[in-house]
Amino acid sequence: MHRPAGAFPCLRLLVVLTLGSVNFCDGGITSSFSRKLQKSVDMPLDSDVFRVPSGHNAPQQVTFCNAVFLTSFGLNLMKVHITLGNHDGSSMIISWVTQDEPGSSKVLYGTDKDHLHKSAQGKHTRYKFYNYTSGYIHHCTIHHLQHDTKYYYAIGIGHTVRTFWFTTPPKVGPDVPYIFGLIGKFIYMPWLYAILQVLYTFLFFAFHCHGSKLVDSQHILSGDLRQTYDSNITLSHYEANRKAQAVLYVGDLSYADHYPNHDNVRWDTWGRFVERSTAYQPWIWTAGNHELDFAPEIGEAKPFKPFTHRYHVPYISSGSTAPFWYSLKLGSAHIIVLASYSAYGKYTPQYSWLEAELPKVNRTETPWLIVLVHSPWYNSYNYHFMEGESMRVMFEQWFVQYKVDVVFSGHVHAYERSVVNGKCEPVVDGSAPVYVTIGDGGNIEGPANNMTEPQPSYSAFREASFGHAVFEIKNRTHAYYAWHRNQDGNEVVADSFWFYNRSWNSADI
């Protein structure tokens, strides 16, 4: 597609989506690409990607909200992840698990990897689920970070120390370059992992020997990933793309509820599986139905227990009363995360919060308004058909009023882009958002392929494949979106679309 006038690379917001890309409402296209229709296969629990890190009480399952990428090459990794710690990215939440004993919740950090002169003290927690007892789950928030700066951090102090790094997001502004990625339904599968491990090793030497980083600090959008071989392909394909600065994850993480008694060991293996990315890049979390873990038949009647213990998000800084709906700002984007499985009717906390949040969005500071919600509002597959309808009825009028640019969802294990700028039914309005379903990370059920026929007028493009996508904000008026199918080469774009900002442009052209 041609590059439109005014699409200058001064504001890049790239989102890697696992299900697809966005095009014009061109009469509705059902892709002719034929993927082998079979269920995905879980990777064995003794696969390298699930390997426990070596050393006494070594941290694992590392994450940070604004996360960094961590490789598993030559290491047994702890489950580490990072995410944003406040509304504007000047704080980071670092999370990890120690198995043998609590150990230290302290994080050492600094801009010189050989001199980590600053420290922050976190806390640890545990939980029980049926016959499972978790390890010691640590969360530590680092405050007062400089924007657009690379930091190194060390955890496991006093036992086995592990060191990682992350890059803080740039200061929020209308013309700040930024890239988001998107992945959906990521599930881990072992035989696929073996193939990917060979590919990963090759890429490591190919990039490392030429003085390049295997994975740069970028952002991706995703959901429904799980722990299958297809999940591993999706994650590796995203890593090889090397564009995104953060991941927008639209729900369904470990799929522990797919196994007998909601086997929470799968939460541990999933954490180790994705640590190679979540320890270096921020992942923005959305709760899906597979995070509910509601099982009163085995005495587990508290929804979201494993998810809320393991994954912390900066909901308080946006005035939310629960971690399932919140907002944050990255680059030139204001991101709103909603909860499909928490009450959203009138007078409920989520309804009241969103009603107050939307008028606060300053489009001169953050021109791009992005919404993440697990269950899609527009879905022409027979899977989960109309499940998001009641939420759409409640909130869509607000999305049109406040000119939301794009809504990313998961849940359906396929890709679909619909209702492009109000040119499709039923909302004929130039201020209506684009809706993209991206639940194609690699779930165990395989891709959804049973579609409603004829293709509804609101559906612009759909394909039953796994993949990831990139959403690159060029400036306050233009953004470029590209979807990459797993079966294609790293640079091959299966679907692409130019976005024209709803607040700064009258219509897509």
Mean pLDDT of 335-348: 98
In a domain, 16, yes or no: no
Per the model's pLDDT, the better-predicted residue between 174 and 386 turns out to be: 174
In a domain, 61, yes or no: yes
The CA-based diameter of the chain, rounded to the nearest angstrom, is 63
Contact of 266 with 255, CB cutoff 8 Å: yes
In a domain, 233, yes or no: yes
Number of folded domains that form the chain: 1
Does position 493 have pLDDT exceeding 50, yes or no?
Answer: yes
Rounded to whole angstroms, the Cα distance separating 92 from 165 reads 12
Does position 467 have pLDDT exceeding 50, yes or no?
Answer: yes
Give the 3-state secondary structure of residue 505. Answer: coil
Burial status of residue 102 (CB atoms within 10 A of its CB: 0-12, 13-18, 19 or more): middle
Q: Write down the pLDDT at residue 217.
A: 30
Q: Which long-range contacts (CB under 8 A, 24 or more apart) does 26-34 make?
A: 26/460, 28/455, 28/456, 28/457, 28/459, 28/460, 28/461, 29/455, 29/460, 29/461, 29/462, 30/451, 30/455, 30/462, 30/463, 31/461, 31/462, 31/463, 31/465, 33/463, 33/465, 33/485, 33/487, 33/494
Per the DSSP assignment, residues forming a β-bridge with 227 are: 187
pLDDT, tens digit, for every residue of 240-295? Answer: 776 789 999 999 999 999 999 999 999 999 999 899 989 999 999 999 999 999 99
Give me the DSSP letters along 273-289: HHHHHHTBB-EEE---G
Contact of 152 with 117, CB cutoff 8 Å: no
Which tokens hold the place of 44? 């064995």
Q: Write down the pLDDT at residue 23.
A: 36
CA–CA–CA angle 70, 81, 308 (5° rounding): 160
Q: Cβ contacts of residue 10 below 8 Å, gap of 6+? A: 175, 177, 474, 475
Contact of 254 with 287, CB cutoff 8 Å: no
Give the 3-state secondary structure of residue 508. Answer: coil
Backbone torsions φ then ψ of 333, nearest 5 degrees: -120, 140
In a domain, 475, yes or no: yes
- Give the total residue count for the chain: 509
Give the 3-state secondary structure of residue 421. Answer: helix
Does position 299 have pLDDT exceeding 60, yes or no?
Answer: yes
Residue-number span of the structural domain to which 97 is assigned: 29-500
In a domain, 267, yes or no: yes
Q: Write down the pLDDT at residue 200.
A: 38
In a domain, 5, yes or no: no
Active-site choice (384, 413, 478, 484): 384
Mean pLDDT of 407-417: 90
**Residue 384 is a catalytic residue:** yes
pTM of the model: 0.81
pLDDT, tens digit, for every residue of 105-142? Answer: 999 999 999 999 999 999 999 999 999 999 999 999 99
Per the model's pLDDT, the better-predicted residue between 21 and 274 turns out to be: 274
pLDDT, tens digit, for every residue of 84-104? Answer: 888 888 999 999 999 999 999
Rounded to whole angstroms, the Cα distance separating 103 from 57 reads 7
In a domain, 217, yes or no: yes
CATH of the domain at 107: 3.60.21.10
In a domain, 2, yes or no: no
pLDDT, tens digit, for every residue of 51-67? Answer: 676 677 777 666 655 43
Rounded to whole angstroms, the Cα distance separating 165 from 151 reads 6
Rounded to whole angstroms, the Cα distance separating 407 from 500 reads 14
Backbone torsions φ then ψ of 158, nearest 5 degrees: 95, -15
